[in-house]
Structure 1
Amino acid sequence: MEVSKIDFTAAEMGYLWHIYRAQGMNYCILTYFDSICEDNEIKELIRSNMEVSEKYLREIETIFSKNDFPIPIGFTVESDVNFTGERLYTDPLILFYQWFVAKGNLNFGSIAINTIARDDVFYFFDGYISDSLKFLNHSRRLLLEKGLWIRAPYIPQPTKVEFVKKESFLNGWFGDTRPLIGVEIASLFYNIITNTLGESFLTSFIQVTDRTDVKNYFIRGKEIAMKHMEILSKTLKEEELPAPSTWNSGITASTAAPFSEKLMLSLVTFLNSQGLSNYGIAASTSARTDIGINFNRLAAEVAKFAEDGTSLLIENGWMEAPPHAPKRRK
């Protein structure tokens, strides 16, 4: 049996549908970035990303069409991008955004490919992961070359192999609390950075949107991001480790909205999903109980915020229904 001819599984439909909408949104955002970016090296990266994003859209459309699967409406430059001529974001923030997207695509593609049976869908994700790794490396090198890469804290290199001898290794709240280990430091540090990126975009959206319901939601999201950064930074500072600073120069004073409210709100829901994934990984790799509990507590707050964002999308008629199981119960 030709593997590409078997029926779609729920996983294959779900992951392809999600990527189609995410890449449509990404293409719209990159199109605006291309119109305002001044740095030629960053602009070259933007255009490479745009070409690949458009390629994904066409490949998924081909797979869907061959299987009589309805193509999502998603996002379009014509309906969701406003070329205002004003610059809302600086070049460094545009570069950080591309690093963040490549990192998220790599994580998502790596999870998805493990569930795929069909050849055509598997080969799509094989290329998706390969491209994501290439763009992650490209954006990383540009951040380093331009002096923009934010390095995680340094700790002394071990001189010998040691074994844990006390159960207090797990303590975090009381008693003999051990110092943070490397993976815990990394989780705290990089979740501060991703929250900083989210806070920057929320700041820009608050600045340009006129809709009260959407603006209030963005304000609430910014407050949550700032609170989470403070909580995570406090843990690093208690260990006398440096916490990353925010990108105060990432947003200009422009009040002209470059994107539709539908796109802005949808982007925030995607950032929420990425944040929940990051927190889940951080909690599962933290051995100290207080670190794991903190990440679970912060994840619960993001989950509630994400739920309210989804409700807002539904209320405004902006949310397409993803592939779902039939309703068998009356």
Structure 2
Amino acid sequence: MTNLKMTASEIGILWSQYIQNSMSMQITRYFVEIVEDEEIKNVLDQTLSYIEKVKLEIERLFNEEQIPIPAGFSESDVNLTAPKLYTDPFMLSFIEMFSKSGTLAYSVSLGGCTRKDIRSFLTNTVHDLTKLFNMTVEIGLLKGSYTSPPTITPPSEVEYVNGKSYFTNGLNPFNKRTLNSVEIFHLFENLKANILGSQFCTSFAQTTDNKQIQSFFTDGKNIGTKHVKVFSDKLIQSEIQPPTSHDHGITESTTRVFSDKLMMFLKSVLTSTSQGNYSTASTASMRYDLVADYQRLAIEVALYAKDGLDIMLKNHWLEEPPQATNRKELLNKK
């Protein structure tokens, strides 16, 4: 127990993580039901254990402060008896993404916290997620399903940028310099994220019975496929083999697994992550054609995200985060 009250930042951080973890919990619960590989099942069991630990700790912290526990997602948002919709390698890829993005999110959140107990909680969570990520990579390598980043021949000596052409010649279709290692990293990671996102869109469009939402996910798949091609072409131009899409990650089942609310929320998280990733990649890239591509594609993702937000608002699926007191409203009540 601490005498310090929770700051607005701490409340917002815990509130957001609670919502997202409640979603991930339902997805992972379904995965545990359908997984066949014992080693991947062990990873899923560990994931569920970590999620449950986070859930209970945030509930404890909120109860101490008398903050309402978010509704989030529950057993009603998942059909645990549905036939197998995802393959085992796909599920492992999801946990890889979940642990990787979670490690980043909790690490960033740590910098916005003051209370020692909350900082300790976030630090321990980062440790758990890092351990989980390492497990997914090791098992993926063992199974042959992990997509490793490309390799390049290391330079023989330190080199310096020689003039503005290093930045601008990417705009010349006949004389593009090859990609540097930082640019390759961002292209590769965004490729992997778009492949996984497109697969989720495929599975969601395949199982929803709402035509508007089905159309939304079909659009998402098409956008993801387009972005995969843009990033793949950039790698191929430098004679680097891009990762390929694993269409076998989704089965032919059309039985609903997740509620439309959960599917829409997951897609909103993925699009938000894409926008952040594109912004980071744009800043880190030193070829102007890459910067232009990331900014152009980010606008497309933003417009798509707005369509998703409109659907969620229409169906009253968006929970409202705790807000500052409206002083004008208080005065008007007197």
TM-score bracket relative to the smaller structure: over 0.9
For 1:6, what is the secondary structure of its paired residue? coil
Note if contact 2:29-2:80 (Cα within 8 Å) is conserved in structure 1: no
Match of residue 73, structure 1, among 71, 74, 83 = 71
Give the CA deviation at 1:7: 2.6
Which letter maps to 1:244?
P
What corresponds to 2:332 in structure 1?
none
The alpha-carbon distance between structure 1 residues 160 and 46, as it changes in their structure 2 partners (threshold 3 A), is same
For 2:121, what is the secondary structure of its paired residue? helix
Give the CA deviation at 1:329: 7.3
Which letter maps to 2:123?
D
Which letter maps to 1:293?
A
For 1:5, what is the secondary structure of its paired residue? coil
Which letter maps to 1:272?
T
Q: TM-score, normalised by structure 1?
A: 0.95
Which letter maps to 2:167?
L
Which letter maps to 2:78?
V
Give the CA deviation at 1:177: 3.6
Give the CA deviation at 1:197: 0.3
Give the CA deviation at 1:192: 0.7
The alpha-carbon distance between structure 1 residues 7 and 307, as it changes in their structure 2 partners (threshold 3 A), is farther
Are 2:90 and 1:97 equivalent residues in the alignment?
A: no
Q: Give structure 2 stretches of 5+ with no counterpart.
A: 330-334
Q: TM-score, normalised by structure 2?
A: 0.94
4+ aligned runs moved over 6 Å, structure 1 = none
Q: How many residues align?
A: 327
What corresponds to 1:27 in structure 2?
25
Question: Could you give the per-residue CA deviations for residues 201-252 of structure 1, whole angstroms, max 9, x where no partner exists?
Answer: 1100111100012111111111111111111111111222111100111011
What corresponds to 1:226 in structure 2?
225
Structure 1 distance, partners of 2:222, 2:82, is 30
Which letter maps to 2:272?
S
Note if contact 1:90-1:251 (Cα within 8 Å) is conserved in structure 2: yes
Question: Could you give the per-residue CA deviations for residues 249-293 of structure 1, whole angstroms, max 9, x where no partner exists?
Answer: 101110111111111111111111211121122111111111122
Which letter maps to 1:151?
S
What corresponds to 2:299 in structure 1?
300
Match of residue 123, structure 2, among 123, 126, 134 = 126
For 2:50, what is the secondary structure of its paired residue? helix
Question: Could you give the per-residue CA deviations for residues 110-137 of structure 1, whole angstroms, max 9, x where no partner exists?
Answer: 1111111111211111111111110010
What corresponds to 1:285 in structure 2?
284
Give the CA deviation at 1:326: 4.5
Structure 2 distance, partners of 1:5, 1:213, is 49
Match of residue 138, structure 1, among 135, 139, 150 = 135
Which region of structure 1 is more displaced relative to structure 2, 229-238 or 51-60? 229-238
Which letter maps to 1:239?
S
Q: Give structure 1 stretches of 5+ with no counterpart.
A: none
Give the CA deviation at 1:10: 2.3
For 2:146, what is the secondary structure of its paired residue? coil
Give the CA deviation at 1:323: 2.6
Note if contact 2:150-2:241 (Cα within 8 Å) is conserved in structure 1: yes
Aligned CA-pair RMSD: 1.6
What corresponds to 1:113 in structure 2?
110
Structure 1 distance, partners of 2:296, 2:3, is 44
Give the CA deviation at 1:325: 3.8
For 1:87, what is the secondary structure of its paired residue? coil
What corresponds to 2:4 in structure 1?
6
Note if contact 1:84-1:256 (Cα within 8 Å) is conserved in structure 2: no
Which letter maps to 2:63?
S
Give the CA deviation at 1:85: 4.0
Structure 1 distance, partners of 2:22, 2:191, is 27
For 1:231, what is the secondary structure of its paired residue? helix
Which letter maps to 1:226?
T
For 1:43, what is the secondary structure of its paired residue? helix
The alpha-carbon distance between structure 1 residues 215 and 144, as it changes in their structure 2 partners (threshold 3 A), is same
Give the CA deviation at 1:327: 5.1
Match of residue 50, structure 1, among 48, 55, 59 = 48
What corresponds to 1:248 in structure 2?
247
Are 2:74 and 1:84 equivalent residues in the alignment?
A: no
Structure 1 distance, partners of 2:39, 2:130, is 18
For 2:291, what is the secondary structure of its paired residue? helix
Structure 2 distance, partners of 1:327, 1:298, is 38
Match of residue 164, structure 1, among 158, 161, 166 = 161
Note if contact 1:169-1:177 (Cα within 8 Å) is conserved in structure 2: no
**What percent of counterpart residues are identical?**
37
